[in-house]
Amino acid sequence: MVSAGTAYKAALGVDRAPNPWNDISEAEVLMVIGANIGECAPITTDYIWRARDKGAKLIVADPRFTPIARNADLYLPVRPGTDLALLMAMLHVIIRDGLTDQAFIEAHTTGFEKTAESVESWNPRRAGEVSGVAPEAIEKAAHLIGESRRAMLMHARGLEHQSKGVENCEAVVAIALATGNIGREGAGPIMVTGQGNGQGGREYGQKCDQLPGQRSLTDPAAREHVARVWGISPEELPAPGYTAVEIMNAIHSGEIKGLLSICFNPLVSLPDANFTREALEKLEFFGVIDFFLSETAAHADVVLAGSLQEEEEGVTANVEARVIHIQKAVDPPGNARTDSSIICDLARRLGRGEYFPFNEPREIFEELRLASQGGFADYYGITYEKIDRQMGVFWPCPTLDHPGTPRLFEDGRFFHPDGKAHFMSLAWRDSGDPVDAQFSIYLTTGRVVSQYLSGTQTRRIGALVDQYPEPKLEIHPLLAAQYGISTGDWVTITSRRAAITLQAMVVRTIRPDTVFIPYHWPGGRSANRLTHRTLDPRSKIPEYKVSACRIEKVTAPGGLS
């Protein structure tokens, strides 16, 4: 997700989807790229269906025919890791055929010429050869968007979980800017942020390079402001730290020796799981706060039983950057405690209790209001009362009488100091784990509708386990025939890092050069044993969506042929 955040910050000056979700239903053209909306954002489906009810055209780009793709007017079967080629060619066609909004570009943006130059050689034929999408289909998609004043481009992990994830998202934003499709009802680039509080987590200061309010940890003025709110000196604030994969690398190399994690199951969720396990085994101290004993928690020295969302009151920011209030429904069971009280107690035991004088989540929120004041994600004008009265408040909300900001950039002003949106120049790079003669098949990973993230919650619910008990290898009949594989056969999938054995599901809903494995399971069924640790150089997000593999039909789940 941070790939999108990094891209939006670079291009638009702020890390947020610019439009409220109701805008989706008002679009004339919707392009969904790298987003399995039906299975991973089911609630969003209805917004898309409502747009279709009003006659909107739907374009879906994905290596798999996802549940919403079957209602698409145009389906682009993009090869894993080549979305950027597709997007650059779309921008190429938009510029070539004069579909740009010249007045908007001149008044509200910078850098267009350089971006135009960077896509000049990416004609649809070249992009077609790279991406496996027909040049005519690329032209059609570009024209549908370029000829509309109400086009939205929605994207999620499919674009972001690549070693060029940031460029992918910058290309999406560039298409929206070039066609003037931003800052209006039914028009805009839309990052479909994952998880209940995936957006909010980037606003509170828990991201390793940010302070509350989406401020930069390297900005002296931001450090000054936040340090004053916290009652410390700016020098006491650390420099930007490591992201998740970088932390694992640093543990593995011996640089980091102790780790405290909250609701984090890297053995399942981080790439190259064998490497992750080696790292966890090297830790001198590992403390885990979680609501269930995950596979990762089994490696911990100390486990503190935390709480589920239903067990603690508080606010979150949803996919629209709408700050909402979650009411507590039940008490944490047994000796489990709310996460906030665990953290405050920990601070006291570490001798910093004076900075954590909180008795309830609301007091923490009051501090966040002050700490975020004047930042991009300004919470100052958001109160519990206003959240409850308005069914949530969109940030920025700088004053107590401000209603919040459901739609950004309506006045054509962007969040950079110059008030302009910045076109970012786009450059092609190959995947960090390229296919070759030995590993000739693309492997992409993702999710199924009945499981959530690393499965810590959903693999414990019988009905959801019944719905999809084990990960299956999705494979096209053309590829399956080459290996004599039928549905139900055991197949060993080998990448440059590891091998796992799963049962095949032969389906026509995936590209014939690609196989798919959902990632929610641990151990020998873990798709992330196969994936690699190549990161996007800016967002530091790993390339889950593109690996190279080979397959072999075997007779037994043990992998023996």
Nearer to other proteins, 53 or 385 (CB): 53
User: Does 66 interact with other proteins (rule: CB under 8 A)?
Assistant: yes
Among 55, 98, 417, 484, binds other proteins (CB under 8 A): 55
Chain-centre distance for alpha carbon 531: 17
Q: Of 37-45, 245-253, 271-279, 438-446, which part binds other proteins (CB under 8 A)?
A: 37-45
Task: List the alpha helices (DSSP H) in 396-544.
Answer: 462-467, 477-482
Nearer to other proteins, 233 or 467 (CB): 467
Query: Closest distance between other proteins and the C-beta of residue 500, in Å?
Result: 22
Query: Is residue 398 helix, strand or coil?
Result: coil
User: Does 505 interact with other proteins (rule: CB under 8 A)?
Assistant: yes
Chain-centre distance for alpha carbon 299: 27
The single-letter code of the amino acid at 390 is: Q
User: Does 53 interact with other proteins (rule: CB under 8 A)?
Assistant: yes
User: Does 65 interact with other proteins (rule: CB under 8 A)?
Assistant: yes
Among 196, 477, 512, 557, binds other proteins (CB under 8 A): 477
User: Does 69 interact with other proteins (rule: CB under 8 A)?
Assistant: yes
The DSSP H or E segment spanning 276 is helix 273-282
| Angle between helical axes of 112-119 and 165-178 (0-180°, round to 10) | 110
Among 487, 488, 537, 558, binds other proteins (CB under 8 A): 487
Q: Of 46-54, 316-324, 351-359, 383-391, which part binds other proteins (CB under 8 A)?
A: 46-54
Distance CA 518, CA 272 (A): 15
Q: Of 230-238, 299-307, 394-402, 506-514, which part binds other proteins (CB under 8 A)?
A: 506-514
Contacts of 525 (CB under 8 A, 6+ apart): 470, 471, 500, 502
| Strand 302-305 relative to strand 285-290, pairing | parallel
Distance CA 324, CA 363 (A): 16
Query: Closest distance between other proteins and the C-beta of residue 322, in Å?
Result: 18
Chain-centre distance for alpha carbon 536: 13
Taken in order 330, 333, 337, 339, is the CA torsion positive or negative? negative
Tokens 């095949």, located at residue: 504
| Angle between helical axes of 83-96 and 124-131 (0-180°, round to 10) | 170
Tokens 């098949």, located at residue: 441
User: Does 71 interact with other proteins (rule: CB under 8 A)?
Assistant: yes
Nearer to other proteins, 67 or 559 (CB): 67
Determine contact, residues 138/89, Cβ cutoff 8 Å. Answer: yes
User: Does 128 interact with other proteins (rule: CB under 8 A)?
Assistant: no
User: Does 68 interact with other proteins (rule: CB under 8 A)?
Assistant: yes
φ, ψ of residue 443 in degrees (nearest 5): -115, 125
φ, ψ of residue 149 in degrees (nearest 5): -95, 0
Query: Closest distance between other proteins and the C-beta of residue 30, in Å?
Result: 15
Among 102, 467, 482, 561, binds other proteins (CB under 8 A): 467
Query: Closest distance between other proteins and the C-beta of residue 57, in Å?
Result: 13
Give the number of C-alpha atoms closer than 13 A to the C-alpha of residue 175, restricted to the C-beta side: 36
Q: Of 50-58, 185-193, 258-266, 400-408, which part binds other proteins (CB under 8 A)?
A: 50-58
Query: Closest distance between other proteins and the C-beta of residue 5, in Å?
Result: 25
Judge residue 69's burial from the number of C-beta atoms within 10 Å of its C-beta, 0-12 exposed, 13-18 middle, 19 or more buried: buried
User: Does 506 interact with other proteins (rule: CB under 8 A)?
Assistant: yes
What is the contact mask toward other proteins in residues 423 to 462, using x (rule: CB under 8 A)?
--------------------------xx------------
Query: Closest distance between other proteins and the C-beta of residue 47, in Å?
Result: 10
Angle at 285 between CA 284 and CA 289, to 5 degrees: 155
Among 195, 367, 509, 553, binds other proteins (CB under 8 A): 509
User: Does 38 interact with other proteins (rule: CB under 8 A)?
Assistant: yes
528 token code pair = 């992330």
Tokens 């957006």, located at residue: 199
Nearer to other proteins, 3 or 444 (CB): 444
User: Does 482 interact with other proteins (rule: CB under 8 A)?
Assistant: no
Query: Closest distance between other proteins and the C-beta of residue 475, in Å?
Result: 11
User: Does 384 interact with other proteins (rule: CB under 8 A)?
Assistant: no
Among 99, 229, 507, 554, binds other proteins (CB under 8 A): 507
Q: Of 44-52, 211-219, 299-307, 488-496, which part binds other proteins (CB under 8 A)?
A: 44-52
Distance CA 340, CA 208 (A): 19
Nearer to other proteins, 247 or 475 (CB): 475
Instruction: Single out the residue of 462, 551, 478, 473 nearest to residue 517, CA to CA.
Output: 473
The DSSP H or E segment spanning 2 is helix 2-12
Angle at 134 between CA 130 and CA 140, to 5 degrees: 120
Q: How far is CA 4 from CA 169, 202, 239, 560, in A?
A: 6, 12, 23, 42
Q: Of 49-57, 277-285, 328-336, 436-444, which part binds other proteins (CB under 8 A)?
A: 49-57
Query: Closest distance between other proteins and the C-beta of residue 50, in Å?
Result: 7
User: Does 67 interact with other proteins (rule: CB under 8 A)?
Assistant: yes
Give the residues lining the site for other proteins (CB under 8 A): 38-39, 42-43, 45-46, 49-50, 52-53, 55, 65-71, 449-450, 463-464, 467, 477, 487, 505-509
